[in-house]
Amino acid sequence: MKTKEVKIINQGLEDEMEVWGYQPCLWKMILVGVGAVCSGGLLLLLLYWLPEWGVKVTCTCTSLRDAHTLLLKTTDEFRQWFRAKVHVMSAPGKNPLDSLELQSTAQLTNGDGDHGISAVHQELHGKCAHRQPVQIHYFTHHSTKYYWNDVMQNFELHKGLEDVKMSCASIHSAHSSGLSKTLQDYRRLFFGENEIAVRVPSIFKLLIKEVLNPFYIFQLFSVVLWSAEDYYYYATAIVFMSVISIATSLYSIKKQYVMLHDMVAAHSVVRVSVFRGNKDIEQAMSTDLVPGDVIIIPANGMIMPCDAVLICGTCIINESMLTGESVPVTKTSLPSLGEEAAVSYNVEEHKRHTLFCGTHVIQTRFYAGELVKAVVVRTGFSTEKGQLVRSILHPKPTDFKLYRDAYLFLLCLVGVAGVGFIYTVVLSIMNKVPVKTIIIESLDIITITVPPALPAAMTAGIVYAQRRLKRVGIFCISPQRINMCGQLNLVCFDKTGTLTEDGLDLWGVQTAEDGSFSPPEADAAKGSLVNSAFVACMATCHSLTKIEGELSGDPLDLKMFNATGWILEEPTEEETALHNPIMPTVVRPPKHSIPEASQKNPLTQNMELSELSPFEIGIVRQFPFSSTLQRMSVVVRRLGEKHMNAFLKGAPEVVASLCKQHTVPQSFPETLESYTRQGFRVIALAHRQLEAKLSWHKVQSLSRDLIETNMEFLGLIIMQNKIKEETAGVLRELRQANIRTLMVTGDNMLTAISVARECGMVRANERVIIAEAAPPKDFHLASITWHYTENPAPTTKDNQTVEINLRDEEYDKKVPQQEQRYHFAVTGRTFAVITEHFPQLVQKLVLRATVFARMAPDQKTQLVEVLQSIDYTVGMCGDGANDCGALKRAHSGISLSELEASVASPFTSSTPNISCVPNLIREGRAALITSFCVFKFMALYSIIQYLSVTLLYSILSNLGDFQFLFIDIAIILIIAFTMSLSPAWKELVWQRPPSSLISGPLLFSVLTQILTSLVFQVLAFLLVRQQSWYETWTPQSDACNVSRSSPSHSLNVTSPHDHKNIRNYENTTLFYVSSFQYLAVAIIFSKGKPFRQPSYKNWPFMLSCIGLYTFLLLIMLYPVPAIDSFLEIVCVPPDWRVTLAIIVIVNAAVSFMLEEANDHWGSSFLSWLLCRRSKPPRVRYMYLALELQDDVDWPPRPSTVTYASDSQSHTSAPL
């Protein structure tokens, strides 16, 4: 027998999977066929639900190369199984990116029609007759094709051009001329049509998939069983409910598919101009594109149909579909010379040169006579947009403890049902009951114990919470995550646009001259500055563009440019004759200020007055802002000048490091620190005059490293970022609710710390420790230096601080003193070094870190993962721009942006501030408690009914059809759906709701209520049999002195249900007692404060309870013959009715007292009972906190250094 061969595909990626090969086995398939027939198709259903067993019982193991069927298992925590069929295709080669060396003399057709795969096969076989076609095995999984690779002996995924790992320079040299038609057709065999095809399944397919859900199969089984017992009414009611449920579900699924299809289909097929090798340009449909094609980007823009890298020209793009940022970004051509060109092309690293599928090209810039060209890199589902759509089509299952516990709880109920099943069978055999009746009644016990309405009732609470969230402007695309919000104990916040205002205001500028700073100026447009190099830098070093006459671009750039008062023009081609054949953007100062101070202007010192009048600066080349480099630069030329100038702006530390040291003022570090401590955002400017010999064309190919060096420091721009007025109050509310808050920003460290202090994330009496890590270099080990910041001196905001401290007295008492003393602050660079060289410190650090500055988007995601690894339930709140990864990864992501990128986030708030976070957590807690309440209620309902039926089976009786109907429809459904309507409590409280159904207090609550119900049902059952008037009931019985000629009794004589022994005193007694028990546990379990509003404020629930109580008391104390006849209950003496009323009242009182006792002393009692008072905390972060309390060396002392070799602190000289 062959050993199982397992391989890994997508190794190291998010969708990594293990794969096994199988071949069909005839004898196994025959056995399964026989089993399916014998089990009435049940075996096939089981194998459909369990794909792993479906493959194993019908196939035998084989190598992947020979496999016909594959078994796939994800390696993540969900361990999902999938099966895939292996297909075979023939092609002229094995690798789509190989050159086929096809005959170039062959006449190629220039058809622009849509080519099917079969047409491509025929065409290729005609042209490649000299090549032997090869058979290639492949399979499709989640809209992605994997092809067999003989060298790797594994299946691989062909993403696109980046698979070849070629340098940027070789993309220019080898791919700039385009593909021949034959090579394009060959590649399309592998990459398929360039479309993101969202197939909308037919209603029939969706129906089959929905109906084959285990829950509906169980319902079908129940309906068949009830019909066999002639319980038609209840069976019809369940069928009616199921049909409505299935119809609703199908409608919503179909609607989602249609919406996604429409969203993707819009602009997905366009006509494009494609280069064909010999510089021929032909029109083609975008569906024909393959990686390696060269397309022309039209001047009036387009919606990109694929991912492509720009090799010629410049584009202005709206990337809101991907980034959430509606601000246009400038994309420049891929470097073709220098160090940058030698680097291998990577989509992630070369984002600023890559045009992504689905993004909108607004404008293009190009040399006169030349075209804007881009090389197609990825197509179809491999594109950025395709991967986003794929993640929506095939989402990961929501992993939440509640749902796992719910399945365990249901298994327990099935176990209870098993006991009842055996009891019924044994009892029936002893009483010589017919076999048919034994089978029906024993199976009926199972349908009673596992309530068919449970999933619908559980979902109701979430649906109501979703509606309430919608009312407060929070929209949800993943309703199951609402329950997760109830467990959040840590929330990460982006800074700019989230905690602070979106825009920045210009506070002032501070120029530098002769190595020292001038006094700060509030107005950059004042006469003495307007024509200076400083203002020229402000006016040119940006990525602004005019769209439909309006200036558009980054808000910071807009503020800077508007502050200069200059004018930006994008001239026509005729006007640019003065500037050479390139089309630059031109900026000029306002006319009235041109002559002023011109003699002092370093740009104009050597100019004659006649040359000064047309004072214009043309932007010749732009190096866009890079978050990794933390800077942007431009090359400009002033009209009439022989030489060009370079202007640079960026993070002050970065700009200063690129400047000649003598031009940077000596007071630079102190000046920068004083501004950042006050919470200002500081940007530095620099300038450099380039060599006169540099031509326009040479500048276009220069790498930015050669330009951005030996600069002259010009000064600082100081921007003010105000905190939103809601921020401090919301953070205080979260802290009082025992929810930790962090700041994760791309901004400067000191600015972030200042904002953290100002908004109360770090309080006045708390110290901030900055961890500064250095990677290993020149035989020096990686190290971390620990800097203790000074607490800020009291300011005019002191009153606010005092108020916060007073409000937080209760918090201070509950948190150990050591926890309050310090916070770590970490930069993205430090975080990367610590993650790589100090892995043992990462968890310790994030346990107390509050400020994460200069964090790249992928580092934000990494941080969320680290926090989750120490058992935090993490929320992430951002404006959607660079937070998409973290929003998606967090347990609960809340986007404050309403743009398309909010697809990445489960929640989107229309309110652009963080007040949505407490609202969401409150609703999450209410929904979670509702889920627990409903689950406990439904569990008790099934057990109470199970007890009633089991007791009645002992006298060969049962509940009647209409009794079941009344209990299940009038009581259970109404109560289950109205008890979910209780809104959230108005404020966040310190304690959190339980996260598990399988927790001591919760189980204790359920068990005590089950025992109470059992005791009172058995008591009533035995008591009724002890009554003096008791006898075996017959239609002629007259226990309550009702006239025998009564119409109800005359009906009873011919009652068709007599043979089932429904009408008897035991049945009537248990019906009344159990009906009141359902209502009692509903009210007891419907908890209000501290997570939900009190039950009496939920008027539909209260009206339902009062109405049902009134109706039941009325028919119990004052029988109505028509109702008695309908519900198949018998008349009992008045004394027994009073006794029943007393039993019901005492039962409710005992149930209430037991639940109250459990709420107050349940946990303590269980801890004492199980001797687990000193048990260690279950969650990792609490365990770590306890460990660190006893660690005398943590936190590290001021100005100490920790080295990577032994991770021990060594005191260094004070820093």
Q: Which residues form the catalytic set?
A: 494
**Residue 886 half-sphere exposure toward CB, CA atoms < 13 A:** 31
Whole-number Å distance between alpha carbons of 917 and 895: 10
DSSP string, 871-922: T--EEEEE-SSS-HHHHHHSSEEEES--SGGGGGSSEEESSSSTTHHHHHHH
Residue whose C-alpha is closest to residue 542's, from 572, 517, 512, 564: 564
Looking only at Cα atoms, what is the longest distance across the chain?
127
The structure tokens 């090969």 sit at 21
Whole-number Å distance between alpha carbons of 877 and 317: 26
Contact between 303 and 360 under an 8 Å Cβ cutoff? The reply is yes
Consecutive H or E run containing 512: strand 505-513
Residue whose C-alpha is closest to residue 451's, from 40, 967, 48, 959: 967
Strand partners, 271: 285
End-to-end CA distance of the chain: give it in Å, rounded: 69
Residues 6+ apart with CB under 8 A from 139: 70, 84, 85, 86, 87, 145, 146, 155
Contact between 718 and 682 under an 8 Å Cβ cutoff? The reply is yes
Residue whose C-alpha is closest to residue 770's, from 852, 843, 865, 652: 852
Positive or negative: CA dihedral 808, 809, 815, 820: positive
How many helices (H) and strands (E) would you count in the chain? 42, 42
Structure tokens at 862: 């990494």
Whole-number Å distance between alpha carbons of 284 and 290: 12
User: With left for phi above 0 and alpha for psi between -120 and 50, is residue 738 left, alpha or beta?
Assistant: left
Whole-number Å distance between alpha carbons of 1054 and 649: 97
Burial of 292 (0-12, 13-18, 19+ CB in 10 A): buried
**Residue 112 half-sphere exposure toward CB, CA atoms < 13 A:** 14
Contact between 107 and 181 under an 8 Å Cβ cutoff? The reply is no
At 66 the three-state DSSP class reads coil
Contact between 461 and 930 under an 8 Å Cβ cutoff? The reply is yes
Consecutive H or E run containing 976: helix 974-979
CB atoms near residue 119 (< 10 Å) = 13
CA distances, 425 to each of 370, 413, 445, 449, 945 (Å): 88, 18, 11, 16, 18
Looking at this protein, which amino acid is placed at residue 763? R
Consecutive H or E run containing 698: helix 696-701
Residue whose C-alpha is closest to residue 877's, from 885, 869, 867, 887: 887
CA distances, 283 to each of 120, 184, 273, 312, 1023 (Å): 18, 14, 5, 19, 91
The structure tokens 């107005």 sit at 523
At 98 the three-state DSSP class reads coil
Overall size of the chain counted in residues = 1215
Whole-number Å distance between alpha carbons of 1184 and 1202: 20
Structure tokens at 344: 């291998």
Q: What is the DSSP letter of 446?
A: H
